[in-house]
A and B are shown apart, each in its own frame.
Chain A
Amino acid sequence: MYDVIIIGAGVSGCAIARELSRKKGKILVVERAEDVCCGTSKANSAIVHAGYDAKHGTLMAKLNVQGSRMMPGLAKELDFHYENNGSLVVMMSEEDRPALMALYENGLKNGVEQLQILERDALRAMEPNISDNAVAALYAPTGAIVCPFGLTFALAENAAKNGVQFQFDSEVTDVQKIDGGWKVVTAKGTLETKAVVNAAGVYADKIHNMVSSETMTITPRRGDYFLLDRATQGFVKNTIFQLPGKYGKGVLVAPTVHGNTIVGPTAIDIEDKDGTATTQAGLDDVRSKSGIAVKNLPLRQTITSFAGLRAHEARHEFFIGEIAPGFVDCAAIESPGLSSAPAIGVMVADIVGGILHLEDNPNFDGTRKGILDPKALSPEAHAALIRENPAYGNVICRCETITEGEIVDAIHRTPGARSLDGVKRRTRAGMGRCQGGFCSPRVMEILSRELGIPMDQVTKSGGNSKLIVGTNKDSL
């Protein structure tokens, strides 16, 4: 019998797992996908919101500000990419000033530090590509950007290091009350546990409704994005939001920690909880709004477009708490969920700790080293690394300069990469301007070799996403 089963290996589930691993206990994360970070956590704006936006007094506001404050320290402990680039909410018309001031006041009440209003000239000096029509902006120096994959993998790996187990391809089909705990029925068998945490993202309503008569409805709210080539690095320094107002809601334009520029999202409520297909209308919407707050946005340098789903619930508030004895919801975690994740982890772990009275784990080690990036080394250290392990001299992904050494490292981590996308999200191989055209066959070979599986079993992202279907002339 497990002490805790966490349903969902997204950023919330992994943050909770990592916090719970401070305690002694048998903890399991079950995930329907083949890897960590396959749902909402993988496709979002990659922003750490400063916390001025969420309405004062809400749990969202509290956890956002806490999470944002925790993130820099966590980035050091767990070695993931985080950059405190600042954010600007740009006002496009003087008549919207009351809304800008309301946002500023809300931020002050939420406890966001260093907020200030920048007028036109100061704004222009800070961001040369800001629209000529921009009037003023709310500047939040504590706004930041993060690699959402990096954050989630870091939390998962550190949880695993401290004893948390992971089980993938294990969709939860039922949760039933049993004596002293819960029975969790998964696609890979039935498990028993004293406590359950529901961190199932867009599916959290389904899990919730398995145990509660007060039904919940999570609506997948789709966001379409464009990702631009790293050649656009420096187009904006801050994350640029547009103040909702006279010219609509707008989309954000932000740098990513890897030097790309991200533009989006839309907000389209859909039915399909796996409906991450972009649509022409969605992409057109992003395109038409993208040039309002900034000018000369080089959308021609788009290297990919994608869509992610936010787990929206009608109250627009995080839903965290014990809803049945030993069953804890961590649901409706929509934006700013990524920003809040470190604080969500602490809060939910505290709730579970209070229920189970777990002892401290004396062997807890809260540090983790990310995948070694040879590019970050001095030339001497880089050369020494290749001498020691020649795989670090073998470039597999030419766009992002990712070597065989890094890919092998990603595969042999716990939890490790088992697919092309798993490698991509851990190492960035295939994330560059050619989008895997050059490296995919090579990464497939490495996956096949390192995992000991035939090439026709190598997948893009688990399940039936097989990359090749046979050999030449096998049907003739």
Chain B
Amino acid sequence: MKEYDLVIIGGGPAGLAAAVAARNAGVESILILERDNELGGILNQCIHSGFGLHTFQEELTGPEYAGRFIDQVKQLQIPYKLKTMVLDLAPDKTVTAMNAEDGLFQIHPKAVILAMGCRERPRGALNIPGFRPAGIYTAGTAQRLVNMEGYLPGRNVVILGSGDIGLIMARRMTLEGAKVHVVAELMPYSGGLKRNIVQCLDDFGIPLKLSHTVVDIQGKERVEGITLARVENGKPIPGTEEHYPCDTLLLSCGLIPENELSRSAGVTINPVTNGPAVNESLETSIPGVFAAGNVLHVHDLVDYVSEEAAAAGVHAARYILQGQSPAGNEIPIRCEGGVRYTVPVSIRPQELEADAVVPLRFRVGNVYQNKRIVVYAGETQIFQRKARVLAPGEMETVNLKASVLQEHGDAPEILVKLEDA
């Protein structure tokens, strides 16, 4: 097998943007490995519009958005292999992969970009009691069946979880002729974007029941009904059960970054995101292994995935061209007061170009109103912004200026928190 300087694992939005950026930054030898039949990843089944408002100032569908990047990859003649499964990533960056054409093969690249995306949390991980009949799908699986293959997985639908895919599928199933009876959400707030609640539920008269969950699934062969109950402090309240006859239960209850390969390589994982812990260069604990997109942390908009992945591509290029990771004082980033995690988890200020900006991305753990997002370097406040509403469904970004970070290059830590406005 031919050797490559940079192997990108995953040909979805993150992998594509990373490849384009790395090539533009001077890496000639790049290979994208994609397990599906075509490039584009999950975008290929996201046939609704709303993608690319930030990146292209246009409202594109998922396949259109992916197409913009696929075109660039093809124009730049970046090689890729489809229907190819990476079986192992070794700590020395040896990539072991397999497909029907090449068989089992290994590549020993100088750098790797992890861009494997995420997967949906299945029913089993949610501990929903009841039978285990046909008709229980994760929203994404149903989306694939409907949008890519034209099959209707059910006619009377209940959706558990108000993640974006669940909301999108509530609308899609309705448009394809199914009746969506209700979307139930365990938490007292939605896990999805506000705009999706409005456009996918409100506009179609589909009720959203917050603080509700599925407490029973009926039907031995095919789903015949489900029981919802109101939840308080994470526990269903007896006596609040409501029965819904239905043939389908869709689950949109969270996404899990897909890091089996990262783990096999020995990359340090952030227990909050379940994605690799990375520094400002999006480099993992293994020098030369970078990560971007939903494998790192679950994003709300693909535009941010592309932006983040392009940065990873540039940093990987620098690593390859310089032959090593720059050494330098690494300041850890800590979060508290409602901020659940940050990406990156550390910054090396002296590595930054003078005019660079470090995007600090994070999510909050609850719905907050009238807060300030505040960043401290040591004791000194280096950033603050008012936030009228903060919700777990929306990713927040704070752009930190290199010049400011460099001023505080010897700070023991950077702290990100919410304070009362």
Q: Give me the interface of A with B, judged by CB distance under 8 Å.
A: 227, 231, 274, 276-280, 282-283, 302-306, 379, 382-383, 386-387, 390-395, 398, 401, 420, 433-438, 440-441, 455-456, 459-476
1/0 contact string of B242-282 vs chain A (CB within 8 Å): 00000100000000000000010000000000000000000
B152 touches A470 (CB 8 A): yes
In the complex, B28 has a CB within 8 A of chain A: no
Chain B residues in 8 Å Cβ range of A231: 263
Chain A residues in 8 Å Cβ range of B247: 469
Query: In whole angstroms, how far apart are the Cα atoms of A386 and B85 in the complex?
Result: 13
Chain B residues in 8 Å Cβ range of A440: 137, 141
B127 touches A283 (CB 8 A): yes
Chain A residues in 8 Å Cβ range of B176: 472-473, 476
A464 touches B100 (CB 8 A): no
A469 touches B127 (CB 8 A): no
Chain B residues in 8 Å Cβ range of A383: 103-104
1/0 contact string of B134-155 vs chain A (CB within 8 Å): 1101101100111001111111
Identify which of residues 118-176 in chain B touch chain A, using a CB-to-CB cut-off of 8 Å.
119-120, 122-125, 127, 129-135, 137-138, 140-141, 144-146, 149-155, 176
| Shortest Cβ distance from B247 into A: residue | A469
A/B interface sample: 27 pairs, CB < 8 A: A277-B131, A278-B130, A302-B124, A302-B127, A303-B124, A303-B125, A305-B124, A305-B129, A306-B132, A379-B104, A383-B103, A387-B103, A395-B35, A398-B35, A401-B85, A437-B119, A437-B138, A438-B141, A440-B137, A459-B134, A466-B134, A466-B222, A469-B152, A469-B154, A469-B247, A471-B151, A476-B176
In the complex, B217 has a CB within 8 A of chain A: yes
| Shortest Cβ distance from B223 into A: residue | A465
1/0 contact string of B80-107 vs chain A (CB within 8 Å): 0001010100000000001111111000
Query: In whole angstroms, how far apart are the Cα atoms of A408 and B369 in the complex?
Result: 56
| Shortest Cβ distance from B140 into A: residue | A437
| Shortest Cβ distance from A405 into B: residue | B100
A393 touches B101 (CB 8 A): yes
1/0 contact string of B302-331 vs chain A (CB within 8 Å): 000000000000000000000000000000
Query: In whole angstroms, how far apart are the Cα atoms of A438 and B104 in the complex?
Result: 22
Q: Which of B119, B146, B155, B217 has the most chain A CB atoms closer than 10 A to its own CB?
A: B119
A471 touches B152 (CB 8 A): yes
B177 touches A390 (CB 8 A): no
Chain B residues in 8 Å Cβ range of A472: 146, 150-152, 176-177
In the complex, B215 has a CB within 8 A of chain A: yes
Chain A residues in 8 Å Cβ range of B146: 472
Given A277-B217, A304-B124, A472-B146, 8 more A-B residue pairs with CB atoms under 8 Å apart are A276-B132, A303-B122, A393-B104, A456-B151, A460-B134, A469-B247, A470-B152, A475-B177
Identify which of residues 207-254 in chain B touch chain A, using a CB-to-CB cut-off of 8 Å.
215-217, 220-222, 236, 247
Chain A residues in 8 Å Cβ range of B217: 277
* Contacts A464-B222, A465-B133; A441 near B98 (Cβ below 8 A): no
Q: Which of B103, B124, B134 has the most chain A CB atoms closer than 10 A to its own CB?
A: B134
Chain A residues in 8 Å Cβ range of B236: 280
Contact of B100 among A304, A306, A393 (CB under 8 A): A393
* Distance between A468 CB and nearest chain B CB, rounded to angstroms: 4
Query: In whole angstroms, how far apart are the Cα atoms of A392 and B87 in the complex?
Result: 13
Query: In whole angstroms, how far apart are the Cα atoms of A387 and B103 in the complex?
Result: 7
Contact of A441 among B99, B103, B132, B141 (CB under 8 A): B141
Query: In whole angstroms, how far apart are the Cα atoms of A231 and B132 in the complex?
Result: 24
Chain B residues in 8 Å Cβ range of A438: 119, 141
| Tally of chain B residues near chain A (CB < 8 A) | 50
Chain A residues in 8 Å Cβ range of B85: 395, 398, 401
Query: In whole angstroms, how far apart are the Cα atoms of A276 and B149 in the complex?
Result: 32
Query: In whole angstroms, how far apart are the Cα atoms of A436 and B29 in the complex?
Result: 35
B153 touches A468 (CB 8 A): yes
Query: In whole angstroms, how far apart are the Cα atoms of A279 and B247 in the complex?
Result: 20
Contact of A305 among B127, B152, B153, B216 (CB under 8 A): B127
Chain B residues in 8 Å Cβ range of A465: 133-134, 221-222
* Distance between B403 CB and nearest chain A CB, rounded to angstroms: 42
* Contacts A435-B122, A437-B120, A441-B145; A277 near B150 (Cβ below 8 A): no
Chain A residues in 8 Å Cβ range of B221: 460-465
B215 touches A280 (CB 8 A): yes
| Shortest Cβ distance from A467 into B: residue | B134
The 6 closest A-B pairs by CB, nearest first: A304-B124, A390-B100, A460-B134, A435-B122, A393-B100, A395-B85
* Distance between A392 CB and nearest chain B CB, rounded to angstroms: 8
Contact of B119 among A282, A434, A463, A470 (CB under 8 A): A434
| Shortest Cβ distance from A438 into B: residue | B119
A434 touches B122 (CB 8 A): yes
Chain A residues in 8 Å Cβ range of B177: 472-476
* Distance between A226 CB and nearest chain B CB, rounded to angstroms: 8
Query: In whole angstroms, how far apart are the Cα atoms of A379 and B105 in the complex?
Result: 9
| Shortest Cβ distance from A230 into B: residue | B260
B152 touches A474 (CB 8 A): yes
Chain A residues in 8 Å Cβ range of B149: 441, 455
Chain A residues in 8 Å Cβ range of B130: 277-279
* Distance between A45 CB and nearest chain B CB, rounded to angstroms: 17
Chain A residues in 8 Å Cβ range of B220: 274, 276
Q: Which of B120, B125, B150, B215 has the most chain A CB atoms closer than 10 A to its own CB?
A: B125
Query: In whole angstroms, how far apart are the Cα atoms of A289 and B7 in the complex?
Result: 47
